[in-house]
Structure 1
Amino acid sequence: MSHPTVLSILFPGQGSQEPGMGRDAAEADSDVMNLWKKAEAISGADLRGIYWDGEEAEMANTRYLQPALTVVNLGLWMRLAGKVAPACTSGHSLGEFSALAAAGALSPNEVLETVSLRGRLMAEADPQGTGAMAAVLKLQLADVETVVRESEQAVGEMIRVANYNTPGQFVLSGTRAAIADASERVKALKGRALPLAVSGAFHSPLMAEAAKELAKHLASVQWNKPKFPVFCNVHGKAVTDAASLRDIMPQQMTSSVQWIDTIRNQHAAGVRSWMEVGPKGVLGKMLGQILAPVADPSEWTGTSVGNLAAAEACLTAQA
């Protein structure tokens, strides 16, 4: 597939994992295999054993998932880098760190160290299990915001919209009591509320202490000017300098993922082709809903590169 129009590279985050992910690319390329080994050394976990041969329940553990999924994303990107020419990049939540590596703002090693720390911090941020998250489907934003406001008032505990994924898909984050109350209100409005298998209330103020620790780490690593803009989750806008990226990335842990704005702002900047690099194609499936109000389907394209075969097919089409 050729890309005559302006291209953005997208990297998925947690929720896009699948058994066996990344194995094909690693077994075909020693550099990718070495990336897995580095991630295992940094995280102290048998990531290949977990994701290539383990149980699916274990694969959802954020402590392991963050470095493993990042390796999968970067391993696929290694096959494409230098052969496709993105104008910008973005990643959804955890995927934003893959975007930083693709743009050269951080080295792959520094990204692996960072996401391993991030995974540990997020896993340990809520030892009492007071936080929870739920996906909300089939409701418009105004109704979701009303639910959040009413639940916070009724329960007296924190709840936020954590992810603005599409105009009909949102994620709530907050205390268990507030999420339970909100879920009932969503159902009363004929929406769907799906509990997420997570260990805390990610992208909410309950991650404040973890964000402080991550900020200390990010202040100590070597940042570089990105080779192309990174559209950041916190505000959905392009960031083009290293200092701003360094300062904004810790905020991501306590702020909402503004994915709708991210994609629409890329479109407004001229992007007409999106390539998702990572398993499952989760982000690609969101594009149509996000772009529908601002672009005719004939004006843009989306490509999913979720495994080695897809990467090779993409390169063959580029030739």
Structure 2
Amino acid sequence: MSARQNRPAVLFPGQGSQEKGMGRALAEASAEAAELWAMAEKASGLPLREIYWEGDEAAMADTRALQPAMTAVTLGLWFAARQRLGDIVGFAGHSLGEYAALAASGMLEAAKALELTSLRGRLMAEAPGGNGAMAAILKLSLGDIEDVVRQAALATGKVLLVANYNSPGQFVISGDKAAIEAAAALVKERKGRAVALPVSNAFHSPLMAEPAAELVKALDKAGLRAPTVAPVYFNVTGALETDADKALALMRRQMTSQVRWIDTMANLQAAGARTFVELGPKGVLAKLATANLKDTCPDCAAVGVADAAAVAALEA
């Protein structure tokens, strides 16, 4: 489906969507995309093109490299696709992807987005992570999951919350390892399944307060402004915000707050989006868009745009 057939929402993925070779063909064909990689390497101090075009899985999973590299890839796709997308309803980025959404909207300079994601990746990688963990919860309703979280937090006296509301069938909990383990036992009792995630800390929880405080200092100096292309729908609320000061307040909370992706998709649909275009590898958010909207918007379409060929196909 052409992205022009309906007003699109543009989505940017986060960690977990990386793959070997990502962004290479576009960077070799586009000076603008190549410059994004160069800026990301300068900001991070890492040989990102070597890591993602020639490296192994372990190197590509290092969040210090992953966050600026993914931002370079997704913004490169945005610059290549923006003239083909027409009148955009809004932007949204999942966790890390929110920084690319800010840059695409005009709320943040691309260079600043790369600097911030380089810092964010380093802070998250270096944060004390001995007691933090995350788990995906499957085969349970949200009500059951929230009840499990309450019980496990009360029983252990530790931090635990639903961190990612990704779709009606996909939720992630985050918190202290003892609370995660207690929750996993309760999930099993209810015939659900808890899958430990390969992360180094309890992301999107209060346990990230220390690295978040350092990132906030940089965010406060980044120069957020009102959007010039279309509004951003923010993780913390799932709703749009166009006031720069209020947007900054939301971004200051992002690392320690929940990702309300279900609300984000619903609000983009309510605003008129009928095509959801994900700019990035693997198509994770395109699949989540389908999962979120299959019952409420049967005429909606989700499109994954991972490379230059897919950008060209937007007008097919």
TM-score by length of 2: 0.95
Contact persistence 2:205–2:258 (CA under 8 A)? yes
Cα shift at 1:185: 2.0
Q: Structure 2 residue aligned with 1:125, among 124, 127, 134? A: 127
Partners of 1:65 and 1:197 lie apart in 2 by: 14
Tell me the equivalent position of 1:312: 312
Q: Which amino acid aligns with 1:311?
A: V
Matches within 5 A, 1:230-269: 230-269=232-271
Contact persistence 1:139–1:169 (CA under 8 A)? no
Q: Which amino acid aligns with 1:8?
A: A
Cα shift at 1:148: 0.6
Cα shift at 1:83: 2.6
Cα shift at 1:146: 1.1
Partners of 2:236 and 2:63 lie apart in 1 by: 20
Tell me the equivalent position of 1:302: 302
Contact persistence 1:20–1:51 (CA under 8 A)? yes
Tell me the equivalent position of 1:18: 19
Contact persistence 2:133–2:177 (CA under 8 A)? yes
What SS is found at the alignment partner of 1:132? strand
Tell me the equivalent position of 1:40: 41
Tell me the equivalent position of 1:225: 226
What SS is found at the alignment partner of 1:271? coil
Contact persistence 1:234–1:255 (CA under 8 A)? yes
Q: Does 1:141 align with 2:142?
A: yes
Aligned residue pair count: 313
Partners of 1:49 and 1:280 lie apart in 2 by: 20
Cα shift at 1:288: 2.5
Q: Which amino acid aligns with 2:42?
A: A
Tell me the equivalent position of 1:152: 153
Tell me the equivalent position of 2:32: 31
Tell me the equivalent position of 1:205: 206
Structure 2 unaligned spans of 5+: none
What SS is found at the alignment partner of 1:249? helix
Cα shift at 1:241: 2.0
TM-score by length of 1: 0.94
Tell me the equivalent position of 2:53: 52
Cα shift at 1:58: 2.2
Q: Higher mean Cα deviation, 174-183 or 159-168?
A: 174-183
Q: Structure 2 residue aligned with 1:105, among 94, 104, 107? A: 107
Contact persistence 1:60–1:198 (CA under 8 A)? no
Tell me the equivalent position of 1:180: 181
Q: Does 1:166 align with 2:182?
A: no
Cα shift at 1:10: 0.5
What SS is found at the alignment partner of 1:129? coil
Structure 1 unaligned spans of 5+: none
Partners of 2:181 and 2:51 lie apart in 1 by: 31
Cα shift at 1:44: 0.8
Contact persistence 1:277–1:306 (CA under 8 A)? yes
Contact persistence 2:152–2:179 (CA under 8 A)? yes
Partners of 2:54 and 2:189 lie apart in 1 by: 41
Cα shift at 1:120: 1.1
Partners of 1:292 and 1:4 lie apart in 2 by: 19
Contact persistence 2:232–2:242 (CA under 8 A)? yes
Cα shift at 1:236: 0.4
Tell me the equivalent position of 2:9: 8
Partners of 1:145 and 1:167 lie apart in 2 by: 13
Deviations 1:16-54 (A, max 9, x none): 111111111111112211211111111011111211111
Deviations 1:73-95 (A, max 9, x none): 01111111233121211011100
Q: Which amino acid aligns with 2:28?
A: E
What is the aligned-residue identity percentage?
Answer: 53
Cα shift at 1:147: 1.2
Contact persistence 2:89–2:272 (CA under 8 A)? no
Deviations 1:226-259 (A, max 9, x none): 0211100001001112222122112011110000
What SS is found at the alignment partner of 1:197? coil
Q: CA RMSD in A?
A: 1.3
Cα shift at 1:161: 0.7
Tell me the equivalent position of 2:118: 116
Cα shift at 1:225: 1.3
Partners of 2:29 and 2:139 lie apart in 1 by: 42
Partners of 2:294 and 2:29 lie apart in 1 by: 39
